Amino acid sequence: MKFLVMNGVNLNLTGKREKSVYGTQTLDDINEKIATYCAKKGDEVDFYQSNIEGELVNKIHEAFLNKSYDAILFNAGAFTHYSYALRDAIAAIDIPVAEVHISNVHAREEFRNKSVLSEVCVGVVCGFGIGSYFAAIEGLRCKLQ
Ligand code: DQA
Protein backbone atom coordinates (compact mmCIF):
# COMPACT_ATOMS: atom_id res chain seq x y z
CA MET A 1 0.00 0.00 0.00
CA LYS A 2 1.04 3.57 -0.50
CA PHE A 3 0.35 6.10 2.24
CA LEU A 4 0.63 9.87 2.37
CA VAL A 5 1.24 11.25 5.87
CA MET A 6 0.15 14.88 6.04
CA ASN A 7 0.80 17.20 8.95
CA GLY A 8 -0.70 20.65 9.21
CA VAL A 9 -0.21 23.84 11.11
CA ASN A 10 2.46 23.96 13.85
CA LEU A 11 3.27 20.25 13.54
CA ASN A 12 6.70 21.24 12.18
CA LEU A 13 7.48 22.34 15.76
CA THR A 14 6.70 18.92 17.23
CA GLY A 15 9.45 17.94 19.68
CA LYS A 16 10.20 21.61 20.29
CA ARG A 17 6.84 23.01 21.47
CA GLU A 18 4.67 21.95 24.45
CA LYS A 19 6.78 18.84 25.01
CA SER A 20 4.56 17.62 27.85
CA VAL A 21 1.67 17.42 25.36
CA TYR A 22 3.34 16.45 22.09
CA GLY A 23 6.51 14.68 23.28
CA THR A 24 10.15 15.28 22.51
CA GLN A 25 10.47 13.63 19.12
CA THR A 26 10.70 16.00 16.18
CA LEU A 27 8.55 15.63 13.09
CA ASP A 28 11.63 14.29 11.27
CA ASP A 29 12.09 11.67 14.03
CA ILE A 30 8.43 10.68 13.79
CA ASN A 31 8.50 10.51 9.99
CA GLU A 32 11.65 8.41 10.06
CA LYS A 33 9.98 5.92 12.43
CA ILE A 34 6.88 5.78 10.24
CA ALA A 35 9.08 5.24 7.15
CA THR A 36 10.91 2.36 8.87
CA TYR A 37 7.62 0.85 10.03
CA CYS A 38 6.14 1.05 6.53
CA ALA A 39 9.28 -0.35 4.89
CA LYS A 40 9.16 -3.39 7.21
CA LYS A 41 5.54 -4.00 6.21
CA GLY A 42 6.30 -3.55 2.52
CA ASP A 43 4.34 -0.31 2.30
CA GLU A 44 5.42 2.92 0.64
CA VAL A 45 5.01 6.28 2.33
CA ASP A 46 5.45 9.96 1.51
CA PHE A 47 5.34 12.89 3.90
CA TYR A 48 4.04 16.43 3.61
CA GLN A 49 3.80 19.26 6.13
CA SER A 50 2.51 22.78 5.70
CA ASN A 51 1.36 25.60 7.95
CA ILE A 52 -0.73 26.98 5.09
CA GLU A 53 -4.31 25.79 4.74
CA GLY A 54 -4.46 26.27 0.95
CA GLU A 55 -1.27 24.26 0.44
CA LEU A 56 -2.81 21.37 2.37
CA VAL A 57 -5.94 21.64 0.20
CA ASN A 58 -3.73 21.59 -2.91
CA LYS A 59 -1.88 18.49 -1.68
CA ILE A 60 -5.18 16.67 -1.10
CA HIS A 61 -6.35 17.61 -4.61
CA GLU A 62 -3.01 16.52 -6.10
CA ALA A 63 -3.20 13.12 -4.34
CA PHE A 64 -6.72 12.64 -5.71
CA LEU A 65 -6.09 13.84 -9.27
CA ASN A 66 -2.86 11.87 -9.65
CA LYS A 67 -4.38 8.79 -7.99
CA SER A 68 -1.07 8.53 -6.17
CA TYR A 69 -2.06 7.05 -2.78
CA ASP A 70 -4.21 4.28 -1.33
CA ALA A 71 -4.83 6.22 1.86
CA ILE A 72 -3.94 9.45 3.66
CA LEU A 73 -3.13 10.03 7.33
CA PHE A 74 -3.86 13.60 8.27
CA ASN A 75 -2.97 15.48 11.43
CA ALA A 76 -4.32 18.90 10.54
CA GLY A 77 -3.32 20.48 13.88
CA ALA A 78 -5.59 23.36 14.88
CA PHE A 79 -7.15 23.42 11.38
CA THR A 80 -8.98 20.29 12.55
CA HIS A 81 -11.26 22.39 14.67
CA TYR A 82 -12.44 24.96 12.13
CA SER A 83 -11.28 24.39 8.56
CA TYR A 84 -14.31 23.82 6.35
CA ALA A 85 -11.96 24.17 3.37
CA LEU A 86 -10.00 21.09 4.43
CA ARG A 87 -13.22 19.27 5.28
CA ASP A 88 -14.57 19.94 1.78
CA ALA A 89 -11.27 18.85 0.21
CA ILE A 90 -11.42 15.53 2.08
CA ALA A 91 -15.09 15.11 1.14
CA ALA A 92 -14.23 15.74 -2.51
CA ILE A 93 -11.80 12.85 -2.87
CA ASP A 94 -12.23 9.09 -2.98
CA ILE A 95 -9.02 8.31 -1.10
CA PRO A 96 -9.74 7.28 2.51
CA VAL A 97 -8.39 9.75 5.04
CA ALA A 98 -7.66 8.94 8.70
CA GLU A 99 -7.69 11.85 11.16
CA VAL A 100 -4.72 11.62 13.52
CA HIS A 101 -3.78 13.49 16.69
CA ILE A 102 -0.79 12.99 18.96
CA SER A 103 -2.68 14.24 22.02
CA ASN A 104 -6.11 13.23 23.30
CA VAL A 105 -8.08 16.17 21.95
CA HIS A 106 -11.12 15.09 24.02
CA ALA A 107 -9.24 15.50 27.28
CA ARG A 108 -8.07 19.04 26.56
CA GLU A 109 -9.62 22.48 26.03
CA GLU A 110 -13.24 22.48 24.89
CA PHE A 111 -12.48 23.92 21.44
CA ARG A 112 -10.37 20.82 20.70
CA ASN A 113 -13.29 18.47 21.43
CA LYS A 114 -14.85 19.44 18.11
CA SER A 115 -13.41 18.33 14.77
CA VAL A 116 -14.97 19.51 11.53
CA LEU A 117 -12.97 16.83 9.69
CA SER A 118 -14.05 13.65 11.53
CA GLU A 119 -17.33 13.32 9.69
CA VAL A 120 -15.59 13.03 6.32
CA CYS A 121 -12.73 10.81 7.52
CA VAL A 122 -12.91 7.02 7.65
CA GLY A 123 -11.61 6.97 11.21
CA VAL A 124 -10.00 9.01 13.97
CA VAL A 125 -7.06 8.14 16.23
CA CYS A 126 -5.92 10.40 19.04
CA GLY A 127 -4.10 10.32 22.34
CA PHE A 128 -1.46 7.67 21.71
CA GLY A 129 1.44 10.02 21.07
CA ILE A 130 3.22 9.05 17.87
CA GLY A 131 1.49 5.69 18.25
CA SER A 132 -1.60 7.41 16.83
CA TYR A 133 0.08 7.39 13.40
CA PHE A 134 0.87 3.66 13.60
CA ALA A 135 -2.64 2.84 14.82
CA ALA A 136 -4.06 4.83 11.90
CA ILE A 137 -1.90 2.91 9.41
CA GLU A 138 -3.23 -0.38 10.77
CA GLY A 139 -6.80 0.95 10.83
CA LEU A 140 -6.54 2.03 7.22
CA ARG A 141 -5.03 -1.32 6.26
CA CYS A 142 -8.01 -3.13 7.86
CA LYS A 143 -10.46 -0.87 6.05
CA LEU A 144 -8.77 -1.35 2.69
CA GLN A 145 -7.98 -5.05 2.70
C1 DQA B 1 -3.03 18.12 17.49
C2 DQA B 1 -4.17 18.59 18.40
C3 DQA B 1 -4.68 19.95 17.96
O4 DQA B 1 -5.74 20.38 18.80
C5 DQA B 1 -3.57 20.97 18.02
O6 DQA B 1 -4.01 22.21 17.55
C7 DQA B 1 -2.33 20.54 17.33
C8 DQA B 1 -1.92 19.14 17.42
C9 DQA B 1 -2.41 16.79 18.00
O10 DQA B 1 -1.70 16.16 17.23
O11 DQA B 1 -2.61 16.42 19.16
O12 DQA B 1 -1.61 21.34 16.77
O13 DQA B 1 -3.56 17.88 16.20
Q: What is the pLDDT of residue 137?
A: 98
Q: What integer is the mean pLDDT of 82-103?
A: 98
Could you give the residue numbers annotated as active site? 22, 101
**For residues 109-138, average pLDDT:** 98
For 56, counting Cβ atoms within 10 Å of its Cβ (0-12 exposed, 13-18 middle, 19+ buried), the class is buried
pLDDT in tens, 42-69: 999 999 999 999 999 999 999 999 998 9
Class of domain 2-144 as given by CATH: alpha beta
**Per-residue pLDDT averaged across 100-126, rounded?**
97
CA of 103 to the centre of ligand 1 (A): 7
Helix, strand, or coil (residue 127) = coil
Q: What is the pTM of this model?
A: 0.97
Which of 48, 55, 18, 22 minimizes the C-alpha distance to 34? 48
CA quadruple 108, 99, 19, 10: dihedral sign: negative
* pLDDT, tens digit (0-9, with 9 covering 90-100), for 14-45: 999 999 999 999 999 999 999 999 999 999 99
Q: Specify the pLDDT at position 12.
A: 98
CA of 57 to the centre of ligand 1 (A): 18
- Ligand 1 pocket, Cβ-based, cut-off 6 angstroms: 10, 75, 77-78, 80, 101-103, 105, 112
Domain extent listing, the chain: 2-144
